[in-house]
Amino acid sequence: MKINEKLAVLEAIAASAKSVGVPDIQKILFVCVQHLLHTSASLFETLIELGAEPSNIFLIGKHYSTCDTVSEKIKNMGIQLQKLTPLQKSGEYASIFNRDISAMWQQVQNHLNSHEITAVVVLDDGGKCLEFITRGVLAKLPVIGIEQTTAGLFNPAVINLHVPFIDVAACAAKTYLESDMIVEAILNKLSKTLPVDKNGLLCGVVGVGAIGKAIVRHLISLGCHVHVYDQNKENYKFIEKAICYDHLEELIRTTDYIFGCTGRDITQNLDMFSLTSRHKMFISCTSEDKEFLSLLKLIQSYHDQQSNPLKDIVWPLSNSAVITIIKGGFPINFDDSGESVPAHQIQLTRGLLLVALIQAIVTLPFLMKENIKGRVMLNPEAQKFVVQEWLKNSKNHKFSPSLLNKFKNIDWIMQNSGGLFRQADQLFQYFNFYEATQSESAS
């Protein structure tokens, strides 16, 4: 993506929202955890175009996905971009990042004391931002969250906050359309790591949720021999042409390329020495460095390394086997390039976040009045709007017409989205007005 390139989906959403106006957006405080990618910058640029005050946007990126060019662009917008404490060794990401988020919330608290703010919108990725919100903020202002990853949906600290948060993570548009994009990006990044001839490679996939299932399909299509493990054996019903295991140890012992797709530490309580008699490569497909955290800490205990913890870790064992952990256990599809998935594809996700931001602002008074807490469904009309705009502007997508036609059906979208559906009539106009004017101009 070119630095100043516009995203058509975001422009369409902005055109619709501007025709109605987003109420009091200039007095909303946004506190955000996001990957610092080019398309993320476009998201915040559009939010500012809709009236958000840049100095009221607090943003922190993630160590493993921050692009310096994007950071500079965001700072030049006037957004309050937070500094990240450098990582010194493997396995310390969570503790360092938690401290950095806590420091951001202290700055937010100070900002509230000197500015006229009517509400706080938390745009989260993994539940960490909501987890460390200060009691002072919660006591002072209405708060609503937006969560875009499954890990954040089930973070106990978030659930126990008793604030409403919009469920982007489990909305139909993200669940059914984003996974294949991410998997394609993961496999593209792996092209320099896996052998050129992938036929017969012994691959293990741990966790067969949306991402895991897509990984399995793609690996099988490449001719790999695929083995899977999931704690929930019900998920095996959806797996074809792969060997399913009852125990994780069997999969690790048998396979050479292990893909972690669970969002949790899969190497906890495992004897890696007895399971590793030949070279093995571990590849994370989720977020942070969670998938192989115990293994990372084990390696650190043997070699107190001071090398870059974001690079590949290679650990030779005494039996001549070698354990390689790609990108230090961080997700393979992220680097410092500013792009994890091509912009024309991932603008779908940025569009979903933008309509969630609009929904949060517009519906917060209603949610507060009705005392609604916890997961709130991303509005089905908004999802339909985003998917339709994305289809107009996406290139070479591989989705079947039958699946895409389902996104014309509001009832289907609702049935396949997480969170409680709350009818908000005031929201309806934001995602139908633009479509109506387009039809009128065409006639």
Looking at residue 2, its pLDDT comes to 52
pLDDT in tens, 63-79: 999 999 999 999 999 99
Looking at residue 191, its pLDDT comes to 78
Which DSSP symbol is given to 409? Answer: -
**Rounded to 10 degrees, what is the CA torsion of 71, 77, 81, 83?**
50
- The pLDDT-based confidence of 117 (bands split at 50, 70, 90) is very high
> 301 or 77, which is more confident?
77
Q: Helix 343-369 crosses helix 38-49 at what angle (to 10 degrees)?
A: 40
- The pLDDT-based confidence of 6 (bands split at 50, 70, 90) is confident
DSSP string, 267-295: STT--HHHH-SS-EEEEE-SSTT-TTHHH
Distances (CA, A) of 43 to 9, 130, 155, 328: 10, 20, 25, 29
The domains spanning 8-175+338-442 and 180-329 adopt the same CATH topology: yes
Looking at residue 425, its pLDDT comes to 64
pLDDT at 439 over 50: no
When the pLDDT of each residue in the chain is averaged and rounded to a whole number, the result is 91
* Gap between the Cα atoms of 261 and 63, Å rounded: 20
Domain boundaries, the chain: 8-175+338-442, 180-329
- The pLDDT-based confidence of 433 (bands split at 50, 70, 90) is very low
pLDDT at 306 over 80: no
> Could you tell me which of 149, 295, 267, 150 has the C-alpha nearest to residue 204?
267
pLDDT in tens, 199-229: 999 999 999 988 899 899 889 999 999 999 9
Q: Side chain identity at 400, as an amino acid letter?
A: S
pLDDT at 159 over 90: no
Looking at residue 118, its pLDDT comes to 97
> 134 or 393, which is more confident?
134
pLDDT in tens, 224-253: 999 999 999 999 988 989 999 999 999 999
Query: CA 45: distance to chain centroid?
Result: 19
Which DSSP symbol is given to 420? Answer: B
**Percent of the chain clearing pLDDT 90 (strictly above):** 73
- Taking the domain 180-329, which CATH number applies? 3.40.50.720
- Taking the domain 8-175+338-442, which CATH number applies? 3.40.50.1480
Q: What is the mean pLDDT of residues 274-287?
A: 94
Query: CA 34: distance to chain centroid?
Result: 8
